[in-house]
Amino acid sequence: MPKKSFENDEKTVDRLTHLGKKIKNQLKDPEEDNLTIETQVRSRSNVEFDEEDGRLSLGDSYSTRKFLNISHARKFMQTLMVASKTKELVQQGRTASIREVYYQLKHSVPGLDENTFDDQDESNNVVVDIETATGAIREDLHLFAEPKGRLFGPIKIDDSGDIIDGMSMGTSGMAINSIVDHFEFVECEADFVLVVETSAMVNRLVEEDFHKDHNAVIIGTGGQPARGARRLINMLNDELDLPVYVFTDGDPWGYYIYSVIKSGSMSLAFQSDRLATPEARLVGMTMEDIEEYGLEHVTENLKGKSGDNGGPTKDYKRINDVMDYPWMETEEWQNQLQKMIDKGVRIEQQALASQSLEFVANEYLPQKIENRNFLD
Amino acid sequence: MPKKSFENDEKTVDRLTHLGKKIKNQLKDPEEDNLTIETQVRSRSNVEFDEEDGRLSLGDSYSTRKFLNISHARKFMQTLMVASKTKELVQQGRTASIREVYYQLKHSVPGLDENTFDDQDESNNVVVDIETATGAIREDLHLFAEPKGRLFGPIKIDDSGDIIDGMSMGTSGMAINSIVDHFEFVECEADFVLVVETSAMVNRLVEEDFHKDHNAVIIGTGGQPARGARRLINMLNDELDLPVYVFTDGDPWGYYIYSVIKSGSMSLAFQSDRLATPEARLVGMTMEDIEEYGLEHVTENLKGKSGDNGGPTKDYKRINDVMDYPWMETEEWQNQLQKMIDKGVRIEQQALASQSLEFVANEYLPQKIENRNFLD
């Protein structure tokens, strides 16, 4: 395969080099008795919602990791080893899994009865330290995770020199890998991107030729979307100006998937600019669909209403959580979630099959999109 | 999409029709007071290993589901509804998820305060009843599950009229859907199939161009292989005469994956003839690899040795289980698993990265395959 070069490669090498130089200067300077690296606090307390931008981001809290004495020596060594290894990956144009990095660096320290790393948790934690210390994210460091999700539709993608034709994928689809930053969109006839929560619904839409009949790039997330799928949606919207419609179950879990695609997630708030797509809109399922399409007999009851044993749990608790997110505080969303509580039910994408298998592809989605009947 | 027609369609319709006629005759016959369907027992007690054939299969135990009285009326109705719906799917050339079938059939019964189905467990159980009563499996009934796994390599597949080129998949790969029976292999330059347990190892091999340099169809199972991947491996071996090499972690879980690919699994023993590939051979990881390739420092200790709290648990228990399977009773396998117990360690595919990232693609696999250094 040709070398993997990403947009940020030069910046990433600079950042890693800068980290190394800073540590080297601290070591040399006799005045300096604090050997430290500074990392951005990633917990919820430091997550902010930028209303203007429509994305989550990290606030200004930093924490300092100190390497003061002999008890920190191990962590210090590990940090430099991982930083050096990822710099090598970027410079060589290769990618690796975090597990491979662990095995590449694991060995006994000469002269000591001690391993560099004892288990992968140690190297994983160091990777996170380096991400927040340098501002370079895992993908910038050329580290990949599990593939998740599928793509179909009228788009041709150059992936490492191979041209993948999303229109010639049968029922199979292109698997979405965890790193997609190197994709080039060489041709696109699509009018919009349809993001679909469940794999079964993707199969349905593909069997009905929805992607062909409606010029849609279909992205199946297989539940909660992974980083690769989120990045790809962002790129399709940003580089090709494609509108993004999100199609989930009508329940708090589905709506949270929508919110992650639109505004970003708390744990990855520091990279919402590349993962979140504020222009995304929810096409369904909504509480109004239940009456509109005669789905009363195929709803499912919500679970976990508060009772003798205290506050709400399960579905009800999740609804409350989602209602409390600052980025879901619009009137439209609060009404939608309140309606769910009042009705006491959820409605799944698959419930549309109660009309007919083809109903979702031939009537439901085309009507909603035509009438711009969306939730923001 | 063109209609989905599978090899067994005619047979499946015959089988479902036969089931319906049998029930109709029982209803008509005044002599007959036992309205029943007969299903094959699927539990482990009825699983046999056919040494000649090298596959698991079901024995001769049958159980009879009786619809004797009013308390069975609900189940009886459900069985006929699902049988009728799947016959419709086959005849229309469509596929559906078991969840869609549930929603298609769920409605209130006119005149009664009762639903046809209250939750999906009910319809799922009926699907299994129909599978064992007719001998038609879920795929024959046009019912699909989640996609799982990826494919790369020098093969062109006709999937529903689209030609998918496995050689032009970049780092993404073709997603493997749960139904692949309709695939036509229109062109194949491959010398063998390499089945790989972990997604990270698939990424590694693809990045190193292993599929291109060694004419290999790479199938990543992403852990325990799903039905679609197992069926595809079987078809590649059976229709194209390709040898199948399986590459897993060197631990009882990896070896069980190998055994499922080779001999079939207990829960799907009744369809081993289409899912199992007795010619499959294990290329690694083996206990001998640890010394051969200097991997002593990157093994992981086995967990769950027997102690004060009783017999073995975790890894050790799993090793004992695997050693007890009749189809793992060859001397070679018993030695291998005993060696694992003696060493007290497991060895992962990713551990080969301790040599270098490219080692697995440039040395380990080519050497092992060249020297036919396999485990059966």
- Output A95 or B309, whichever has higher pLDDT: A95
Rounded to whole angstroms, the Cα distance separating A196 from A347 reads 15
Intra-chain end-to-end CA distance of chain A, in Å: 42
Q: Count other C-beta atoms under 10 Å from residue A101's C-beta.
A: 27
- Output B198 or A27, whichever has higher pLDDT: B198
- CA B155 from chain centre, in angstroms, equals 21
Handedness of CA A42, A46, A50, A51 (dihedral sign): positive
How high is the pLDDT of residue B110? 81
Average pLDDT over residues A349-373: 96
CB A364 within 8 A of CB A285: no
Inform me whether the pLDDT recorded for A336 exceeds 80: yes
CB A364 within 8 A of CB A292: no
- Tokens 């090598």, residue located: A88
Inform me whether the pLDDT recorded for A308 exceeds 70: no
Average pLDDT over residues A129-149: 91
| Collapsed DSSP state (helix, strand, coil) of residue A48 | strand
Instruction: Name chain A contacts of B348, Cβ cutoff 8 Å.
Output: 99, 103
Boundary (domain end) residue, out of A111, A144, A177? A144
How high is the pLDDT of residue B3? 85
Q: Which of A150, A200, A353 lies at the smallest CB-CB distance from B175? A: A150
Provide the Cα torsion A42, A45, A47, A50; round to 10°.
-160
Inform me whether the pLDDT recorded for B300 exceeds 70: yes
**Statement to judge: residues A184 and A324 lie in one domain:** yes
**Statement to judge: residues A110 and A247 lie in one domain:** no
Query: Residue A344 — very low, low, confident or very high, per pLDDT cuts 50/70/90?
Result: very high
Rounded to whole angstroms, the Cα distance separating B268 from B222 reads 19
Average pLDDT over residues B207-235: 97
**Statement to judge: residues A190 and A308 lie in one domain:** yes
**Statement to judge: residues A54 and A195 lie in one domain:** no
Write out the residue range of the structural domain in which residue B35 sits. Answer: 9-144
> Which of B317, B287, B292, B322 lies closest to B304 in space, CA to CA?
B317
Compute the nearest-CA separation of A329 from chain B (Å): 33
Rounded to whole angstroms, the Cα distance separating B92 from A289 reads 28
B375 in any annotated domain:
no
- Tokens 């539990």, residue located: B43
B4 in any annotated domain:
no
Strand partners of residue A157 = A164, A185
SS (H, E, C) chain B: CCCCCCCCHHHHHHHHHHHHHHHHHHHHCCCCCCCEEEEECCCHHHEEEECCCCEEEECCCEEEEECCCHHHHHHHHHHHHHHHHHHHHHHHCCCEEHHHHHHHHCCECCCCCCECCCCHHHHHHHHHHHHHHHCCCCCCCCEECCCCCEEECCEEEEECCEEEECCCCCCCCEECCCCCCCCEEEEECCCEEEEECCHHHHHHHHHCCHHHHCCEEEEECCCCCCHHHHHHHHHHHHHHCCCEEEECCECHHHHHHHHHHHHCCCCCHHHHHHHCCCCCEEEECCHHHHHHCCCHHHCEECCCCCECCECCCHHHHHHHHHHHCHHHCCHHHHHHHHHHHHHCEEECHHHHHHCCCCHHHHHHHHHHHHCCCCEC
Per-residue pLDDT reduced to its tens digit, B105-138:
998 888 888 889 988 899 998 998 899 889 898 9
**Statement to judge: residues B75 and B164 lie in one domain:** no
Name the average pLDDT for chain A.
Answer: 93
Compute the nearest-CA separation of A118 from chain B (Å): 9
Per-residue pLDDT reduced to its tens digit, A228-241:
999 999 999 999 99
The DSSP letter of residue A178 is S
Catalytic residue status for B103: yes
CB contact under 8 A, B200 and A144: yes
Task: Name which of A218, A293, A357, A364 to mutate to probe chain B: the one with the most chain B Cβ atoms within 10 A of its Cβ.
Answer: A357
Average pLDDT over residues B49-74: 86
Closest residue in chain A to residue B164, using alpha carbons only: A169
Q: How many CA atoms lie within 13 A of B31 on its CB side?
A: 1
Domain count, chain A: 2
Rounded to whole angstroms, the Cα distance separating A20 from A32 reads 16
Per-residue pLDDT reduced to its tens digit, A108-131:
888 888 889 988 899 998 998 899
Catalytic residue among A62, A103, A325, A364: A103
What is the greatest pairwise CA distance in chain B? 77
Rounded to whole angstroms, the Cα distance separating B18 from B32 reads 18
ipTM: 0.92
Average pLDDT over residues A271-276: 92
**Statement to judge: residues A316 and A366 lie in one domain:** yes
Q: Which of A94, A108, A350 lies at the smallest CB-CB distance from B297? A: A108
A302 in any annotated domain:
yes
How high is the pLDDT of residue A72? 82
CB A155 within 8 A of CB A185: yes
B159 in any annotated domain:
yes
Instruction: Name chain A contacts of B357, Cβ cutoff 8 Å.
Output: 94, 96, 100, 104
Name the average pLDDT for chain B.
Answer: 93
Ordered DSSP codes for A184-218: EEEEE--SEEEEES-HHHHHHHHHTTHHHHTTEEE
How high is the pLDDT of residue A32? 64
**Statement to judge: residues A125 and A166 lie in one domain:** no
The identity of residue A233, as a single letter, is: I
Boundary (domain end) residue, out of B144, B174, B195? B144
Inform me whether the pLDDT recorded for A30 exceeds 90: no
How high is the pLDDT of residue B32? 64
| Collapsed DSSP state (helix, strand, coil) of residue A17 | helix
Handedness of CA A99, A104, A105, A106 (dihedral sign): positive
Instruction: Name chain B contacts of A1, Cβ cutoff 8 Å.
Output: 171, 206-209
Rounded to whole angstroms, the Cα distance separating A86 from A92 reads 10
Ordered DSSP codes for A319-360: HHHHHHSGGG-SHHHHHHHHHHHHHTEEB-GGGGGGT-TTHI
Residues 6 or more apart from A125 whose CB is under 8 A from it? none
| Collapsed DSSP state (helix, strand, coil) of residue A279 | coil
> Which of A227, A18, A289, A43 lies closest to A134 in space, CA to CA?
A18
Q: Count other C-beta atoms under 10 Å from residue A36's C-beta.
A: 16
With vertex at residue B122, the alpha carbon angle to CA B117 and CA B124, rounded to the nearest 5 degrees, is: 120
Q: Which of A170, A200, A297 lies at the smallest CB-CB distance from B108? A: A297
Inform me whether the pLDDT recorded for B69 exceeds 90: no
Inform me whether the pLDDT recorded for B228 exceeds 70: yes
B293 in any annotated domain:
yes
Compute the nearest-CA separation of A306 from chain B (Å): 23
Ordered DSSP codes for A112-170: SS-BS-SSHHHHHHHHHHHHHHH---TTTTTEE-----EEESSEEEEETTEEEETTS-T
pTM of the predicted protein model:
0.93
CB contact under 8 A, B222 and A146: yes
Domain of B218: which CATH number?
Answer: 3.40.1360.10
Output the six-digit token pair for A93: 């144009």
**Statement to judge: residues A124 and A236 lie in one domain:** no
Per-residue pLDDT reduced to its tens digit, B182-197:
999 999 999 999 999 9
The DSSP letter of residue A364 is I
The DSSP H or E segment spanning A37 is: strand A36-40
Intra-chain end-to-end CA distance of chain B, in Å: 42
How high is the pLDDT of residue A37? 85
**Statement to judge: residues A218 and A140 lie in one domain:** no
CB B337 within 8 A of CB A87: no
Segment among B22-26, B291-295, B309-313 with least mean pLDDT = B309-313
With vertex at residue B275, the alpha carbon angle to CA B274 and CA B280, rounded to the nearest 5 degrees, is: 110
Inform me whether the pLDDT recorded for B143 exceeds 70: yes
How high is the pLDDT of residue B38? 86
How high is the pLDDT of residue A306? 80
**Statement to judge: residues A191 and A65 lie in one domain:** no
Strand partners of residue B132 = none
Q: Rounded to whole angstroms, what are the CA distances from A27 to A21, A127, A150, B274?
A: 10, 22, 49, 65
Query: Residue A33 — very low, low, confident or very high, per pLDDT cuts 50/70/90?
Result: low
CB contact under 8 A, A354 and B160: no
A2 in any annotated domain:
no
A376 in any annotated domain:
no
Share above pLDDT 70 across residues of chain A, in percent, rounded to a whole number: 98
Domain of A72: which CATH number?
Answer: 1.10.10.10
- Output A7 or A149, whichever has higher pLDDT: A149
How high is the pLDDT of residue A321? 93
Boundary (domain end) residue, out of B120, B144, B168? B144
Output the six-digit token pair for A209: 């030729």
Query: Residue A29 — very low, low, confident or very high, per pLDDT cuts 50/70/90?
Result: confident
Query: Residue A361 — very low, low, confident or very high, per pLDDT cuts 50/70/90?
Result: very high
Query: Residue A323 — very low, low, confident or very high, per pLDDT cuts 50/70/90?
Result: very high
**Statement to judge: residues A186 and A256 lie in one domain:** yes
Radius of gyration of chain B (CA): 24
Question: Could you give the angle at which helices B314-324 and B331-343 cross, rounded to 10 degrees?
Answer: 170
Inform me whether the pLDDT recorded for A287 exceeds 70: yes
Segment among A29-38, A251-260, B238-247 with least mean pLDDT = A29-38
Rounded to whole angstroms, the Cα distance separating A62 from A259 reads 26
Provide the Cα torsion A312, A315, A321, A323; round to 10°.
-110
Average pLDDT over residues B243-271: 95
Average pLDDT over residues A183-206: 97
Strands B216-220 and B192-196: parallel
**Statement to judge: residues B72 and B89 lie in one domain:** yes
How high is the pLDDT of residue A219? 98
A375 in any annotated domain:
no
Compute the nearest-CA separation of A285 from chain B (Å): 15
